[in-house]
Chain A
């Protein structure tokens, strides 16, 4: 009997516990969202407001360059002016968020331009339309009439950075080899342009063959290989005054494929001597050389990791061209490329997390990326011939050379997002190859 009553008591206690548990369930509903959409972010950038008569044309042009930069990334989609419900009539007038929400503009960029003589001032604001608030604070840039495109690029970089949380790449330049003439008599010279193909300038004439220009980490100097002396030699050029000098000249050798170290003080390159090619490191100021590899095979195309600790390069020591990583001081190299086919021209991403490369497989060429340990290989492009990837300053975009087939085939520069989307050709006046992307300009 007592036992039964005890059990009953326990039952009552247990029931009480359960009920208290049930009543305690008043927390929020929890749900998990794991599938999103991948769509360009819709934004609006109405023509900037001219603050005086002289600024009218420029106000429109600046907004157009900003829009071209943003939409060109493939990450943003501009909403056409036709769709606007409300107009921006003054830089300082309040924004009718509801009107911009109605056309689904998630970001709105407003700005104004003032021109006085040669001086140009650009002001702008970025609005988070759905949150109904300004994204960051208004900024203004002051410059000159001739530098208006750079100011527009700077505005676009700021917008990109505030919306994505990552730095932009619009106010940057590209050094490349400009090519004219048919394939059997091609003339090549070094050229420099804005990242979007504007403002092309030539750095050398076409009397001697030039190859593989590479920007320094600060964008003030360029390394390249020239056949000026009859043999390939590495030159270093000051971009500001086009002053150049031979960096390495050892009789009876060929040197090529140079790249700066991240501190800009050293150059890593390939040296061919007695039929064997190995990788060397040279101190720019002293000219002192250190040999990093000692193999009977061909080691070339070295590229530093951004922290300066490691070097990735290509070698055919296994019988096919593959990618290897070694310490920056030389020593044991670890093979990282594991797929079939040939791998070449590896370039370490400025973010340090990936390596871009050229891959040749089954008669086709690809530009691809892999993690620095060789895992997660992804091919981004495929065509008859493409090579020579270079990273945008923020590590988001890769520019490379693509050459079309046939005697009339021409080389051109293309860009692709690291997701493999948004493949585009960069507008250049002539054929173009071997691009090297500068850092963001200051």
Chain B
């Protein structure tokens, strides 16, 4: 084997290596290049189109499926409680065991709360205003507070409007209320997860290829006059990149179809406009992280959930979370304006609500 062959062999191996992994050496600018949507090669365009097409078709498939399977539950749910409470309510007064619904209501911790709230109203002496040195006998005080729920149960027979009373149980039947949104939410979500694998594969493929063209000319030039030092440098930089990439992966979404800064900012702004902060409240001392799952059309899938809360007491944290949840629901009513081709990058979002700048106390 002469020197020429060695050089030729190494050169070819190097060239093939660069062709396969050349793009990775330039990994640092990768996340940014990816966001430059303006530079699109035909290859990318095809890939993107493929990515777009894939969801479309998948969505078509999923749409009919989801309703068919789930329709019975979501559509009938609202009507179901309408009927059941009517029957269950009267029964629940006398025989709590008959129905499923009454059971959760009766064992509710009502007795405890009755004891908890015992403002007493002693029979108040007259409250005379504008009297000179009146005998200000003690003002009336509330009697022990009772839960409202036990009352209605006993009441139905009394009032004339029996039908009204019957309907009431529906409100109290909070499980029924809650299940409705959940069911609605789950249906779209399922259809979405079905699509996901196809879409994500295509979408990730597109940018990965798109990144290559740029570094190629440089690296091939280098490959031709390969020197140990260069390769060693390249290798170490790749290793560094690998480590850095892992670190970034945990903090930031830098997969190929990430939102551009402008798109992310627009989302932040949209939610900011609905996030009502009372700077004088203890809730303004709390930073909450809320997890949200979105449908492909930008609407909420399910309700936002609390990931973590920092600062304040439990009461303040509850309020801070509720304020954040309200902001998301209120501003997301018509769906957030997000690019559907990047759906995988924003399907799940963790939103941190940090009121530090607005804090007063």
Contacts and interface: CB of A to CB of B under 8 A. Distances in A.
B121 A25 contact: no
B21 A15 contact: yes
A355 B333 CA distance: 43
Contact of A240 (B138, B147, B352): B138
A75 B278 contact: yes
A363 interface: no
B135 A29 contact: no
Most buried by B among A150, A163, A205, A429: A150
Given A18-B24, A31-B267, A192-B136, A133 B177 contact: yes
B246 interface: yes
Q: Assign chain B's interface to a size class.
A: 35 or more
Interface in A31-61: 31-39, 41, 51
Interface string B62-83: 0000000000000000000000
Given A31-B351, A38-B276, A143-B142, A95 B171 contact: yes
Contact of B242 (A21, A27, A166, A442): A21
B221 interface: no
Contacts, number: 311
Q: Assign chain A's interface to a size class.
A: 35 or more
B44 interface: no
A418 interface: yes
Contacts of A417: 280
Contacts of B130: 200-202, 429
Most buried by A among B6, B238, B345: B238
A169 to B, nearest CB: 13
Nearest to A131: B325
A442 B279 contact: no
A293 B258 CA distance: 67
A396 B280 contact: yes
B348 to A, nearest CB: 4
Contact of A142 (B142, B165, B282, B315): B142
B129 interface: yes
A139 interface: yes
A4 B333 contact: no
B142 A151 contact: yes
Interface in B13-39: 13-14, 17, 20-21, 24, 27
Interface string A74-112: 010000000000000111111100000100101000000
Interface stretch (B49-57, B93-101, B248-256): B248-256
Interface of B: 6, 10, 13-14, 17, 20-21, 24, 27, 108, 113, 117, 119-121, 123-124, 126-149, 151-152, 159, 161, 164-165, 167-172, 174, 177-178, 181, 204, 208, 226, 228, 231-232, 234-235, 238-239, 241-242, 245-246, 248-255, 258-259, 264, 267-268, 271-283, 291, 303, 315-316, 318-319, 322, 325-327, 329-330, 333, 344-346, 348-358, 360-361
Q: Which 4 A-B pairs have the closest CB atoms?
A: A92-B168, A147-B140, A138-B148, A28-B348
